[in-house]
Chains A and B, each alone.
Chain A
Amino acid sequence: MTPRLELDPLLVARARELAARAAEPVVELARRHTTVSVERAVLRLAGLTGTDPLTGGGGTENTVPWVNRVVDAVREQVGLEHGVALPVWHALASGTAPSLQALAEQVGAGTARFTLPEGADADRARAAARTAVARGIARIDANRRRREELVATHGDPPRRPWIYLIVATGDIHEDIPQAQAAARAGADVIAVIRSTGQSLLDFVPEGATRTGYAGTYATQENFRLMRAALDETSAELGRYVRLTNYASGLCMPEIAVLAGLERLDMMLNDAMYGILFRDINPQRTFVDQRFSRMVHARAGIIINTGEDNYLTTADAVDEAHTVTVSQLLNERFAHEAGLADWQLGLGHAFEIDPDRRESFRLELAHAMLARALFPDAPLKWMPPTKHMTGDVFRGYLLDGFFNLAGALTGQGILLVGMMTEAVVTPWLSDRDLALRNVRYVLDAAGGLVEDFAPPTGGFIDRRAHTVLTEAVQLLEKIAAHEGGLLQAIADGTFGITRRPPDGGKGLDGVVRLAAGAWNPALALLDREPADA
């Protein structure tokens, strides 16, 4: 499957070594801090659900989940420097409340009192917390086994790349029939786009929702409903249809937990997207992404990274190497968090200006570079968006070339391009025509990857080498940067934005850990699954 492109092994080794060096201070930072969302994720693993009924009024966006109330109360009373688990399970073990849910209600009533346990009390709290959180992790493990069983029963898609299609109506009950229809029409992976702005909410909405704008809220109940519907369709089609959502934004760790609890199969989860495109604080993002990736690793979820986004703001030829650098960093962060290569849907995109001469050859060179550099990763191949002008006929041709590049270079996951990109949200007929385009290309040329071997020293080979060399040069600059990757981001190295370490949203939710801090989820996730 892997196309033949010989990369200089010394250059490749150098690139990985530099990526590891650039990532190291950030990993250290993540180890030394926690966030409100990481702590809320711990409570979600322990089974705390629901919202405080007294905070209602104004619908989904204005109800406060119990996990937020409890973490805020602990923070106010004893601080989060030791994590939420010790004070919470100390309160439970001391008999102040019969259950976590009851304790949350005491927080709501303003009667809960938290203290930090010591000595034998701390041991008792740790044991109780470990038992509670282990139940959530056991459910994630069971979901992973269940996925493996279902894949064995129904089968994987008959070929690569897997065909990835988006639904986004805002109403989960509209999304479901659309997703099922898309699967019947050939989609292997269904992604439910989130409501505009959810990434900037510092809580996860609850329940089945029907009021999203340009997308549907990611909630545990919406996850459950969609997964159940796609399980039905998988049985009907004899092919396991995968479900995707977004572990990004201020609640990345919690959404990762909910994805594991409800057997989602893929999650968008980029190390730097939130920083660059959403102005989320860099420290917050790096702490949150490490935890979320540990959860994804355990859950057997394939992550999708967001390098395609760089090319929507920067020139796809001039800045091609920033995609490679980000892929290498994402790979490093992912490996450190325990993800295996088969779980790395590293992103890249077909965004070179089609009016540029040799644009298709350049696209092939970039796509083959990614393929050769990450031979065991399923690479997520994203369609043109920047140069889709509303000329739907030209757009349909461009999508055909995009599909051909995907087939020719052995991409793992192909997001279906819409000729009506930038015109309307896809119509029924747009999706159908787009899938016909994909099917035609894969049926006609899917095997061409076997025959396609650009000659050494030719245009494609030279271009791939140039981009890799530029990537190594940029990594050298980052690794040598005083202040490391964080400062490089502050200086505007990626995309065109500058994001200082103390700027952006969510910094107030980052807490430096004290000696003796303890997180039962991290303790359990660091271990191998019991029966994997």
Chain B
Amino acid sequence: MPEGTVIRPYGDTTGDGMVQVSFTLPVPPGPQADGAALQLARKMGLEPAMVVHSHGIGGGGGTAGDGYTFFVVYGSVRHLVDLDAVAVEERAYPLLSPSEVNLAIRSRLGRKLVVLGACIGTDAHTVGIDAILNLKGFAGEKGLEYYREMSVANLGAQVSVPELVARARTARADAVLVSQVVTQKDAHLRNTRELAAAFREAMGERRPLLVVGGPRFDPGAAGELGVDRVFGRGTTPGEVASYLVHALVPEGLPA
């Protein structure tokens, strides 16, 4: 480990700054293409840089019929890294893997975590709740059904708020997840307030954790809407699962 807080990349000698990059340029292979790659490398701060490999892509077999060229470039990067200036963004809760989620529930809750999901209002688009709950999942992550320590029921679309409250009570749900994808004139906000009010009225303090999500929601609006958490566009099942553990599973080890 080098001393001090200013460092450079390490190839085989301290301070040599060596990095390796690969990229594609939309030009046929040849001397001009290699020159273009070197120019890009210099502008990226690699000096000196070497194009150690290039080949055409596009079915032309290395001729001008190839419209693209792939490069592997090695070079010494001019830039310095100041470790003191590195800011690490802390999440309010850690992102857990499925096995960590399962372990946390099993060891610290000691029973299955019960999760209900639904679309409320007139919205028939279950793609959001399905992405989070279905085994198939989303963005390469399995949905909550994949988590052995969760008992998950997906009630589907157009579930009425009173029905959702009744199902949550019967199932003793720990968390209720509601997704709204297609919405007009802020119906998603009205629906969410109605949801929060109905659970408050029916169950008071003993209501389940309320989580809503959808592309039109502002993730900062949970308090204003009367729910515990709002997830926006691009949320993955792992983020939701990690949040549920954070919010519902007691900290620390069991006795």
The interface of chain A, by Cβ under 8 A from chain B, is 58, 61, 181, 184-185, 196-197, 200, 276-279, 312-313, 422, 427-429, 432-433, 495-497, 505
Q: Which residue of B lies closest to A312 (CB)?
A: B142
Distance (whole angstroms) from the CB of A140 to the closest CB of chain B: 30
- Give the CA-CA distance A61 to B124 in the complex, in Å: 11
- Are A181 and B134 in touch, CB under 8 angstroms? no
A276-B135, A428-B68, A432-B57 are contacts. A496–B24 as well, Cβ < 8 Å? no
- Are B127 and A197 in touch, CB under 8 angstroms? yes
- Are B142 and A313 in touch, CB under 8 angstroms? yes
- Are A277 and B57 in touch, CB under 8 angstroms? no
In the complex, 17 of the A-B residue pairs with CB atoms within 8 angstroms, ordered by the A residue number, are: A58-B182, A200-B127, A278-B130, A278-B136, A279-B130, A279-B134, A312-B142, A313-B146, A422-B140, A427-B24, A429-B68, A429-B70, A432-B70, A433-B70, A496-B135, A496-B146, A496-B148
For B145, list chain A residues within 8 Å (CB): 279, 497
- Give the CA-CA distance A313 to B136 in the complex, in Å: 9
- Are B58 and A185 in touch, CB under 8 angstroms? yes
- Give the CA-CA distance A313 to B58 in the complex, in Å: 36
B156 at the interface (CB under 8 A from A): yes
For A276, list chain B residues within 8 Å (CB): 135
Looking at chain A's contact residues, is the secondary structure mostly helix, strand, loop, or mixed? helix
- Are A277 and B136 in touch, CB under 8 angstroms? yes
- Give the CA-CA distance A184 to B60 in the complex, in Å: 8
Q: List CB contacts (< 8 Å) of B147-170 with chain A.
A: 148, 154, 156
B192 at the interface (CB under 8 A from A): no
Q: Which residue of B lies closest to A214 (CB)?
A: B139
- Are B135 and A505 in touch, CB under 8 angstroms? no
Instruction: Choose from B23, B24, B135, B140 the contact partner of A495 (Cβ within 8 Å).
Output: B135
- Give the CA-CA distance A427 to B24 in the complex, in Å: 9
B131 at the interface (CB under 8 A from A): yes
- Are A184 and B136 in touch, CB under 8 angstroms? no
Inter-chain pairs besides A184-B59, A279-B154, 5 sampled, C-beta below 8 Å: A185-B57, A200-B130, A433-B70, A497-B135, A497-B145
A279-B134, A422-B140, A497-B135 are contacts. A429–B58 as well, Cβ < 8 Å? no
- Give the CA-CA distance A185 to B24 in the complex, in Å: 16
- Give the CA-CA distance A429 to B70 in the complex, in Å: 7
- Are B68 and A197 in touch, CB under 8 angstroms? no
- Give the CA-CA distance A495 to B148 in the complex, in Å: 12
For B63, list chain A residues within 8 Å (CB): none
B126 at the interface (CB under 8 A from A): yes
- Give the CA-CA distance A185 to B127 in the complex, in Å: 35
- Are B57 and A428 in touch, CB under 8 angstroms? yes
B14 at the interface (CB under 8 A from A): no
For A197, list chain B residues within 8 Å (CB): 125-127, 130-131
Q: Which residue of B lies closest to A422 (CB)?
A: B140
- Give the CA-CA distance A61 to B123 in the complex, in Å: 13
A185-B59, A279-B154, A422-B140 are contacts. A428–B24 as well, Cβ < 8 Å? yes
For A184, list chain B residues within 8 Å (CB): 58-59
B22 at the interface (CB under 8 A from A): yes
Q: List CB contacts (< 8 Å) of B1-49 with chain A.
A: 22-24
- Are B24 and A429 in touch, CB under 8 angstroms? yes
- Are B131 and A196 in touch, CB under 8 angstroms? yes
For A429, list chain B residues within 8 Å (CB): 22-24, 57, 68, 70
